[in-house]
Chain A
């Protein structure tokens, strides 16, 4: 103790203390932080195949070790969920440069996608692909989902998820045909212009509620044809086309029968 007391005014003492404090914080964080489930089931074989697929199809842009480059994101730590979202919706591999990567038929089958995801997940921990239970709409509460969707999602995706415009040709896509898993993954990983809604922000249960609300929308409206769910503009268009169209037709018919 005496040696310690003697050196407590040493000019390096603050540095040492700081290092110790950082070490302690980091250690506590590592112990307490929610550890994202990593693809445990992925075996070495999958990772190997995934790596080959990656190098053949993705490395041109993302780099041979997925480290990214100018304008291309690094994939270290994005997790299996991000890979599964991007690849299973066909957004990656990207067809062409544009305001944003657009959806197209998936280029890899489910197995290949899982292998790619396993490889990327092995590069660094990230969110895993959600389980079937996590995305089951029947376990969600659509009323809570509607409230969360209204405050967090509707400003870009429209009130019922019909999609909406962003700046410079970017857009929030329609969610009418997106799979429950993809919706969950999108919230978790925040692809492209979308913000990340992590589990502290929107809990896994709330994410499931949002999915329940969106699935409800696919059943249509109690009022009849939804007209795209786009709101007053499409309603206005239809009143001119159908309403006034039919009535002007009737007026011409009545006017023509003049005697």
Chain B
């Protein structure tokens, strides 16, 4: 029979491989690996799969792209570019778009996949941040992830600049300005990067090597590390009945997740292909070949760089100083170097700050509900608010034309909002979190409102409350509300000043900021007490009402 032949062949091949590579162990290990189930755990997969799509489509594009700034006269489609003098890079981009079969589709797939890659990374990072998945033992993986985010920005930036159109040249010119704004080494750095005065002849070939070899190579290696660490640490899981820091509740990798994740790859590829086929992106022939003079209205970078653009647009230009013949361009240095520096530093150090203010050395595999860590959630929302305000400020001209507003007022509004917005967002978020926690307490202690109003014989009305079931209760009480650090006094028992007291006091102050306002989870004792006095909720077993009812009954 054919089946047995196939089976025998497959078994033979598997055995051959196993005897030579020992792959059987790995398969056994992986196939049984358990993964918890939640849709938000697929966000990272979107990023991974769009990266695969990027590599596939990028491979195709390198077959036709010529990374050269030599000037040629372009002949052929589109007719708006026929007979125009341009770089070979731009000409080959047009050639890929209009002459190569499927070339434009591949370009568009590549660009949409890049935008989606970054969007998925950011969303995945939001999930990890707000659920506290960066806590021990995953701090290092958070760092790898943040590095991946920055490398993603680098890959996007280098790729955006390759076609050598006006828009990408504008972006490079801004980069040049930013590099030059760095004190002392700025001009040397700029000459070093561009191989002389901007734009030079070297930048496109250099960016090409970075874009197709160095950056994706590092990304690929770090993705490997990132995934390896996921396997080593095991996946985190959302809180719920029976889930602890010592187990993983979910399904085995094989067959459930192989099917789900494998299928999801095709969904991601499909959505990107659909976008690439129907929605035009980066039509470089509209922008024309790069020339340092024109800058068109609506000249903006891709969305993940918009915050930098916005930061530059918001900064008042008067802050440029000439000191002893040297120019100090604070108008560029602050918005384009210092502000992004601060934002990324926050991302890098946050897990360590939280570890320090909690002094928590335990491993955590059960995720936090964002409401249960109000200050972290608030800080995350404040960070996003700053990021979004900057991105919106980078689109201020489009906001002006589309909402009939004055660009000057918008810019001023964003200047103020950049400082006020994050504080306000922090405060509101923290309040909402505390409110939700109080509601949880309330629910655990008193149960669900049922809407059933019961009237006692004495005329008293009560609403019947249904107690929470075990699963619901587990979710709401099973968390730690950290308390501010308590430090030992400034002097020891002999009245000698203690070393490191000042640092500890600083840490304690920070810890107070984090955990001063908190809502403690309901303890079993509190629950018991609530049930004792709340018996009236359950009709029939009521004692206190019993007396009154008997007294007033006719």
The chain A residues found within 8 Å of chain B, CB to CB, are: 99, 142-143, 145-147, 150-151, 154-160, 162-169, 171-172, 213, 216-217, 221-227, 229-240, 242-244, 246-248, 250-252, 254-256, 258-259
- Name A240's contact: one of B119, B277, B404 (CB within 8 Å): B119
B513 within 8 A of A: no
Known contacts A224-B279, A259-B251; decide if A236 and B37 are in contact (CB<8 Å).
no
B207 within 8 A of A: no
Q: List chain A residues, Cβ under 8 A from B97.
A: 222
Q: List chain B residues, Cβ under 8 A from A168.
A: 406-408
Known contacts A143-B80, A150-B294, A242-B279; decide if A236 and B286 are in contact (CB<8 Å).
no
Assembled-state Cα–Cα distance A126/B83 (Å):
36
B272 within 8 A of A: yes
Chain A binder among B108-116, B208-216, B515-523: B108-116
Chain A binder among B295-303, B436-444, B452-460: B295-303
Assembled-state Cα–Cα distance A138/B93 (Å):
27
| CB-based contact B123/A244 at 8 Å | yes
Assembled-state Cα–Cα distance A222/B277 (Å):
10
Known contacts A225-B279, A232-B303, A236-B306; decide if A164 and B298 are in contact (CB<8 Å).
yes
Query: How many CB-defined contacts (below 8 Å) exist between A and B?
Result: 205
Known contacts A230-B398, A231-B167; decide if A166 and B407 are in contact (CB<8 Å).
yes
Known contacts A99-B406, A147-B84, A150-B288; decide if A232 and B294 are in contact (CB<8 Å).
no
B249 vs chain A, min Cβ distance (A): 11
B227 within 8 A of A: no
- Name B40's contact: one of A164, A167, A231, A251 (CB within 8 Å): A251
Assembled-state Cα–Cα distance A160/B281 (Å):
14
- Name A216's contact: one of B80, B263, B275, B278 (CB within 8 Å): B80
Assembled-state Cα–Cα distance A247/B50 (Å):
11
| CB-based contact A258/B104 at 8 Å | no
B197 within 8 A of A: no
A29 vs chain B, min Cβ distance (A): 33
**B395 (CB) vs chain A CBs: closest residue:** A233
| CB-based contact B407/A224 at 8 Å | no
A196 vs chain B, min Cβ distance (A): 19
Q: List chain A residues, Cβ under 8 A from B479.
A: none
A-B contact pairs, 30 of them (CB 8 A): A143-B81, A143-B83, A147-B84, A150-B166, A151-B291, A155-B294, A155-B297, A156-B297, A158-B298, A159-B297, A160-B286, A163-B401, A167-B406, A168-B408, A169-B407, A223-B104, A223-B279, A232-B300, A232-B301, A233-B306, A233-B394, A236-B115, A237-B303, A239-B275, A243-B119, A244-B123, A250-B271, A252-B39, A254-B264, A255-B39
Q: List chain A residues, Cβ under 8 A from B116.
A: 239, 243-244, 247
Assembled-state Cα–Cα distance A248/B289 (Å):
37
9 cross-chain pairs, A with B, having the tightest CB-CB distances, nearest first? A236-B303, A164-B297, A223-B280, A255-B39, A154-B296, A169-B406, A165-B400, A251-B42, A165-B397
Known contacts A155-B294, A158-B296, A250-B267; decide if A225 and B37 are in contact (CB<8 Å).
no
B553 within 8 A of A: no
Q: List chain B residues, Cβ under 8 A from A230.
A: 298, 398
| CB-based contact B280/A227 at 8 Å | yes
| CB-based contact A243/B112 at 8 Å | yes
Assembled-state Cα–Cα distance A223/B109 (Å):
11
**A213 (CB) vs chain B CBs: closest residue:** B80
| CB-based contact B115/A235 at 8 Å | yes
Assembled-state Cα–Cα distance A162/B300 (Å):
14
Interface string of B69-105 (1 = CB under 8 A from A): 0000000001111111000000000000110000010
- Residue of B40, B286, B293, B408 contacting most chain A CB atoms (<10 Å): B286
Assembled-state Cα–Cα distance A236/B304 (Å):
8
| CB-based contact B39/A254 at 8 Å | yes
Assembled-state Cα–Cα distance A146/B303 (Å):
26
Assembled-state Cα–Cα distance A168/B404 (Å):
10
The chain B residues found within 8 Å of chain A, CB to CB, are: 37-43, 46, 78-84, 97-98, 104, 108, 111-112, 115-116, 119-120, 123, 166-167, 251, 260, 263-264, 267-268, 271-272, 275, 277-283, 286-288, 291, 293-304, 306, 394-398, 400-401, 404-409
Assembled-state Cα–Cα distance A247/B112 (Å):
13
| CB-based contact B282/A235 at 8 Å | yes
| CB-based contact B298/A162 at 8 Å | yes
Specify the main secondary structure of chain B where it touches its partner.
Answer: helix
Specify the main secondary structure of chain A where it touches its partner.
Answer: helix
| CB-based contact A231/B39 at 8 Å | no
Q: List chain B residues, Cβ under 8 A from A246.
A: 271
| CB-based contact A147/B39 at 8 Å | no
**B105 (CB) vs chain A CBs: closest residue:** A223
Assembled-state Cα–Cα distance A156/B283 (Å):
19
B538 vs chain A, min Cβ distance (A): 34
Q: List chain B residues, Cβ under 8 A from A247.
A: 46, 116, 120, 267-268, 271
Assembled-state Cα–Cα distance A166/B15 (Å):
72
| CB-based contact B286/A164 at 8 Å | no
Q: List chain A residues, Cβ under 8 A from B46.
A: 244, 247, 251
**B114 (CB) vs chain A CBs: closest residue:** A239
Assembled-state Cα–Cα distance A259/B252 (Å):
11
Assembled-state Cα–Cα distance A224/B279 (Å):
5
Assembled-state Cα–Cα distance A163/B302 (Å):
19
Known contacts A240-B119, A247-B271, A254-B264; decide if A229 and B286 are in contact (CB<8 Å).
yes
Assembled-state Cα–Cα distance A167/B380 (Å):
34
| CB-based contact A232/B302 at 8 Å | yes
- Name B281's contact: one of A172, A216, A233, A235 (CB within 8 Å): A235
B84 vs chain A, min Cβ distance (A): 6
Q: List chain A residues, Cβ under 8 A from B279.
A: 223-225, 227, 238, 242
A49 vs chain B, min Cβ distance (A): 36
Assembled-state Cα–Cα distance A223/B93 (Å):
14
| CB-based contact B42/A159 at 8 Å | no
Assembled-state Cα–Cα distance A207/B271 (Å):
42
- Residue of B40, B111, B300 contacting most chain A CB atoms (<10 Å): B300
| CB-based contact B264/A251 at 8 Å | yes
**B294 (CB) vs chain A CBs: closest residue:** A150
| CB-based contact B299/A231 at 8 Å | yes
Assembled-state Cα–Cα distance A171/B399 (Å):
12
A103 vs chain B, min Cβ distance (A): 12
Assembled-state Cα–Cα distance A226/B288 (Å):
17
Assembled-state Cα–Cα distance A251/B265 (Å):
11
Assembled-state Cα–Cα distance A231/B299 (Å):
7
- Name B280's contact: one of A167, A226, A244, A255 (CB within 8 Å): A226
Q: List chain A residues, Cβ under 8 A from B406.
A: 99, 167-169
Assembled-state Cα–Cα distance A166/B407 (Å):
7
| CB-based contact B400/A235 at 8 Å | no
A97 vs chain B, min Cβ distance (A): 15
A147 vs chain B, min Cβ distance (A): 7
Q: List chain B residues, Cβ under 8 A from A252.
A: 39
| CB-based contact B167/A164 at 8 Å | no
B431 vs chain A, min Cβ distance (A): 27
| CB-based contact B119/A159 at 8 Å | no
**B392 (CB) vs chain A CBs: closest residue:** A233
**B407 (CB) vs chain A CBs: closest residue:** A165
**B43 (CB) vs chain A CBs: closest residue:** A251
Assembled-state Cα–Cα distance A49/B288 (Å):
48
| CB-based contact B260/A243 at 8 Å | no
Q: List chain A residues, Cβ under 8 A from B278.
A: 224-225
Q: List chain A residues, Cβ under 8 A from B267.
A: 247, 250, 254
- Name A159's contact: one of B41, B272, B296 (CB within 8 Å): B296
